[in-house]
Chains A and B, each alone.
Chain A
Amino acid sequence: MKLRKSLSKLKKDIKVGQFLAVRELKRNNPWSTALIIFVMSLTFFNMVLMGGILIGLADGMMNSFKTYYSSDILIKPASQNVSISQSSMLDSLIKSLPSHKASSKRYTMAAILENENNVKIKDTEIGQRVSSTLVGINPSEEDAVTGLSTQIITGEFLNDYDTEGVVLGKGLLAEYSKGSSTESRLEGVDIGSRLKLIIGGTSIDVTVKGIIDTGNSTVDNRIFILESTMRALTNNQGLNVNEIAILLNQGSDSKEAKGYIVDNFPYNSDIIVETADETLPKAISDMKKTFSMLGNIVGVISLVVGAITIFIVIFVNAITRRKYIGIMKGIGISARAIEISYVTQSLFYALAGILFSSFIIIWFLAPWFDLHPLKFPVSEGKLAITTSGLILRGLILTVTAFISGYVPAWMVTRQNTLDAILGR
């Protein structure tokens, strides 16, 4: 009975509170309302955007690492081995994986690329020689796994007959990576340039066929060549490779696939099988954690600014209407109904700000960042925003607005009714 009475009173208070709030909002100066909503929008932007950009940068690094280098699973020789033992047997096992979509075997070796056409003035001169990792690939297999052909920024990707052709990562060329590295890069090299490729004591002349830009520094500092050319160059008669990248069907469990390989490959102690997450350099995952933390710190600061804004707006509003609050109490309107009125107003400001900025973010900013990612030396930065992230931040701002609206209203409604009416 008592509960029912309380609920009935609460219902009345909510009804009257909303009635007052709606009229107050409707008859407020529209410019003031617009300004408060604008401040709330900026608060929400700050909460979402800064964190989104920072995490997007880390995500960009992780994604490009996975997409263009490791794929879903990367197999490497164990530390005591140079190459993967029984690569053919392993390749057959990989292809028997139920979730297997594509795989690429890579031969890797340290190499030097030299641009003989540039006249050397000093031995240390930038642009004449560059050390790199030479990667021998089957172009169609590699493309099926990493889609490298889509990342060609000039020229073409390798085909099965490009016995003298190479594809270079943009990080090796001065013209394509200005200011992004302090390491030596070749100057004056473009599509069709003839370069000398030196492996140990052997060298051949190669032609630059294409230049790739994946946004991943590991891949963008590699030289790609046909596996047949590389094996001929290194006089490698065996079929043992140095890396195998495996792409799984979408939605497949990479840990399960890894387990399948480890469990079924008899020479599993000679190899290291890693999922994309395990392959990630620790620096990248640490960076993501740091960026998340920085994003959250910026978000919290924005939240505090937003909370103070709402508090001031409601407090000033309540203080300047202290007399009317007294009158309302005088004619029998409960303090709770008045508090609900102010809380409703602050919730309106916050929700309008959230909706406005969410609209801008979802319909304009996120697509814009997708089309024009921020170019960082280590990766491309897109806006990392998820629906759940938006909802969570929206909820946090809403709760903050609730508290920031309630506290000043509570402070003012608790004052003596007669003092409020008489302005004492």
Chain B
Amino acid sequence: MIKVNNLTKIFTIGSNTLTALKKVSFSVSSGQFLAITGMSGSGKSTLLYQLSLLDSPNQGTVSIENEDTSVLTSEERISFRLKNFGYIFQDYALLPMLTAKENVMMPLLMQGIDEKVAQKKAEEALSKVDLQDRLNNLPSQLSGGQQQRVSIARAIVHNPKILFADEPTANLDTESSETVLDIFLNLHKQGQTIIMVTHESEYAKLTQRNIELRDGSIINETLQKNNR
């Protein structure tokens, strides 16, 4: 489903260059729950940005369902993300002027779905993350864990092919983190492809497959036995 080939990302800061990813290659099959781990600065978030088309590599390609994404224009990337991806940010990234329900409705509205239908689907998505009683709360009226659950609901409401999560538990307490992981595991059981960046090895172990990065290269790859 996802094929990464010789992916290289170089950052230029003044006269200095930093190679964040060095010819990384791997593939992810449909329905897989993949964790990308590594120390801070290992390149895991940079890799996620390339996979989710939020950034462009200097070299190499990312093909999704045999479509080479490097040829897409900026607007086409936005449209591609809307159609195929759900994205969960580390800091939740909810729009502050929208309620929980309205935040979740956004991808649906952008897909041209009728507002009433979008409302219903958003309510269903929020029920899945156990937030049916917080529909009309603004992000500022929710706890960190609740905001992250809204973010998950927003990411899954339009049934994306791939769910990307960038350190989704980094800002959460243990209880909230476990709730988020439970949601991911449930989604995975339902066949959702998930690619999660995390620096917490115990959460990575819960996934199906783990890719470990160091200095921009894959140094280890493991398949968990307790997952399919």
Q: For the complex, is B154 an interface residue (Cβ under 8 Å from A)?
A: yes
Q: Which residues of B contact A334 (CB under 8 A)?
A: 75, 78-79, 110
Q: Which residues of B contact A327 (CB under 8 A)?
A: 89, 93, 95
Q: Is the CB of A331 within 8 A of B106?
A: yes
| Tally of contact residues, A, Cβ under 8 A | 26
Q: For the complex, is B96 an interface residue (Cβ under 8 Å from A)?
A: yes
C-alpha spacing A324/B74, complex, angstroms: 17
> With contacts A15-B109, A19-B109, A27-B138 known, is A331 near B54, CB below 8 A?
no
Most buried by A among B75, B79, B93, B115: B93
Q: For the complex, is A287 an interface residue (Cβ under 8 Å from B)?
A: no
Q: For the complex, is B97 an interface residue (Cβ under 8 Å from A)?
A: yes
> With contacts A19-B109, A418-B49 known, is A332 near B85, CB below 8 A?
yes
Q: Is the CB of A27 within 8 A of B97?
A: yes
Q: Which residues of A contact B155 (CB under 8 A)?
A: 331
Q: For the complex, is A335 an interface residue (Cβ under 8 Å from B)?
A: yes
Q: For the complex, is B87 an interface residue (Cβ under 8 Å from A)?
A: yes
Q: How close is B114's CB to chain A, nearest CB, in angstroms?
A: 10
Q: Which residues of A contact B109 (CB under 8 A)?
A: 12, 15-16, 19
Q: For the complex, is B38 an interface residue (Cβ under 8 Å from A)?
A: no
Q: How close is B92's CB to chain A, nearest CB, in angstroms?
A: 10
Chain A residue nearest to B81 (CB atoms) is: A332
Q: Which residues of B contact A329 (CB under 8 A)?
A: 78
Q: For the complex, is A337 an interface residue (Cβ under 8 Å from B)?
A: yes
Q: Is the CB of A12 within 8 A of B93?
A: no
C-alpha spacing A11/B87, complex, angstroms: 25
| Tally of contact residues, B, Cβ under 8 A | 29
Q: Is the CB of B54 within 8 A of A328?
A: no
Q: Is the CB of A331 within 8 A of B87?
A: yes
Q: Which residues of A contact B110 (CB under 8 A)?
A: 12, 16, 332-334, 337
Q: Which of B19-78 contact A (CB under 8 A)?
A: 49, 54-55, 74-75, 78
C-alpha spacing A365/B87, complex, angstroms: 56
Q: For the complex, is B107 an interface residue (Cβ under 8 Å from A)?
A: yes
Q: Is the CB of A328 within 8 A of B95?
A: yes
Q: Which residues of B contact A122 (CB under 8 A)?
A: none
Chain B residue nearest to A8 (CB atoms) is: B112
Q: How close is A367's CB to chain B, nearest CB, in angstroms?
A: 41
Q: Is the CB of B97 within 8 A of A333?
A: no
Residues 401-424 of A, flagged 1 when their CB comes within 8 A of B and 0 if not, give: 000000000000000011001000
C-alpha spacing A343/B5, complex, angstroms: 42
Q: For the complex, is A23 an interface residue (Cβ under 8 Å from B)?
A: yes
C-alpha spacing A32/B122, complex, angstroms: 31
Give residues in B with beta carbon < 8 Å to A: 49, 54-55, 74-75, 78-79, 81-83, 85, 87, 89, 93, 95-98, 102, 106-107, 109-112, 115, 138, 154-155
Give residues in A with beta carbon < 8 Å to B: 8, 11-12, 15-16, 19-20, 23-24, 27-28, 323-324, 327-335, 337, 417-418, 421
- A327-B89, A327-B93, A418-B54 are known contacts; what are 5 more A-B pairs with Cβ within 8 Å? A8-B112, A19-B102, A19-B109, A333-B78, A334-B79
